[in-house]
Chain A
Amino acid sequence: MSIQMWTWVLVGITFALYIGIAILSRAGSTKEFYVAGGGVSSLANGLATAADWMSAASFISMAGLISFNGYDGSVYLMGWTGGYVLLALLLAPYLRKFGKFTVPDFIGDRYYSNVARSVAVFCALLVSFTYVAGQMRGVGLVFSRFLEVDIDTGVVIGMIIVLFYAVLGGMKGITYTQVAQYCVLIFAFMVPAIFISIQMAGNPIPQLGFGGVDENGIYLLDKLDGLHKELGFAEYTSGSKSTLDVFLITAALMIGTAGLPHVIVRFFTVKKVSDARKSAGWALLFIAILYTTAPAIAVFSRTNLIETVSNKEYDKLPEWFSNWEKTGLIKFTDKNKDGRVQYVADASENELIVDKDIMVLANPEIAQLPNWVIALVAAGGLAAALSTAAGLLLVISSSVSHDLIKKMVNPNISEKGELIAARLSAIVAVCVAGYFGINPPDFVAATVALAFGLAAASFFPAIVLGIFYKRMNKEGAVAGMAVGILAMLFYMLKFKFDWFGGGTKDDWWFGISPEGFGTVAMLLNFVVSLIISTFTPKPPIEVQKIVENIRIPSGAGQAHQH
Chain B
Amino acid sequence: MNDNQKLKQHYWRKNLIYLSILLSIWFLVSFVFGILLVDELNTIRLGGFKLGFWFAQQGSIYVFVILIFVYIRLMNRLDKEFGFDN
Q: Interface of A with B (CB < 8 Å)?
A: 66, 71, 73-74, 77-78, 81-82, 84-85, 88-90, 93, 207, 210-213, 219-222, 237-238, 243, 246-247, 250-251, 272, 274, 277-278, 280-281, 284-285, 288, 291-292, 295, 548, 551-556
Cβ-closest chain B residue relative to A201: B48
Q: Which residues of chain A are near B47, meaning CB under 8 Å?
A: 211-212, 219
**17 A–B pairs (Cβ distance < 8 Å), ordered by A:** A74-B35, A77-B57, A82-B26, A85-B68, A212-B48, A222-B48, A238-B38, A238-B53, A250-B31, A281-B65, A284-B64, A288-B65, A292-B58, A551-B8, A552-B84, A553-B84, A554-B84
Q: What's the minimum C-beta distance from B30 to chain A, rounded to whole angstroms?
A: 5
Q: Which residues of chain A are near B86, meaning CB under 8 Å?
A: 272, 553-556
Q: Is the interface of A mostly helix, strand, loop or mixed?
A: helix
Q: What's the minimum C-beta distance from B2 to chain A, rounded to whole angstroms?
A: 13
Q: What's the minimum C-beta distance from A12 to chain B, rounded to whole angstroms?
A: 34
Say yes or no: A89-B54 contact (C-beta < 8 A), given A238-B39, A243-B35, A274-B85: no
Are A284 and B79 in contact, CB atoms less than 8 angstroms apart?
no
Say yes or no: A74-B68 contact (C-beta < 8 A), given A211-B54, A548-B8, A552-B84: no
Say yes or no: A552-B65 contact (C-beta < 8 A), given A207-B58, A237-B53, A238-B39: no
Interface string of B12-38 (1 = CB under 8 A from A): 100100010011001000110011101
Are A274 and B30 in contact, CB atoms less than 8 angstroms apart?
no
Q: What's the minimum C-beta distance from B79 to chain A, rounded to whole angstroms?
A: 6
Are A250 and B30 in contact, CB atoms less than 8 angstroms apart?
yes
Q: What's the minimum C-beta distance from A145 to chain B, rounded to whole angstroms?
A: 28
Within 8 A of A (CB), among B50-69: 50, 53-54, 56-58, 60-62, 64-65, 67-69
Task: Please measure, in the bound complex, the distance between the C-alpha atom of A85 and the C-alpha atom of B48, giving whole angstroms.
Answer: 28
Are B85 and A553 in contact, CB atoms less than 8 angstroms apart?
yes
Are A284 and B60 in contact, CB atoms less than 8 angstroms apart?
no
Q: Which residues of chain A are near B1, meaning CB under 8 Å?
A: none
Choose from A85, A207, A210 the contact partner of B64 (Cβ within 8 Å): A85
Q: Which residues of chain B are near A278, meaning CB under 8 Å?
A: 72
Q: Which residues of chain B are near A238, meaning CB under 8 Å?
A: 38-39, 42, 53
Task: Please measure, in the bound complex, the distance between the C-alpha atom of A43 and the C-alpha atom of B8, giving whole angstroms.
Answer: 29
Task: Please measure, in the bound complex, the distance between the C-alpha atom of A178 and the C-alpha atom of B75, giving whole angstroms.
Answer: 28
Q: Which residues of chain B are near A280, meaning CB under 8 Å?
A: 68
Choose from B30, B53, B65, B85 the contact partner of A284 (Cβ within 8 Å): B65
Are B23 and A74 in contact, CB atoms less than 8 angstroms apart?
no
Q: Which residues of chain B are near A555, meaning CB under 8 Å?
A: 86
Are B60 and A84 in contact, CB atoms less than 8 angstroms apart?
no
Are B8 and A247 in contact, CB atoms less than 8 angstroms apart?
no
Q: Which residue of A213, A221, A555 has the most chain B CB atoms within 10 A of its CB atom? A: A221
Say yes or no: A295-B68 contact (C-beta < 8 A), given A78-B30, A551-B12: no
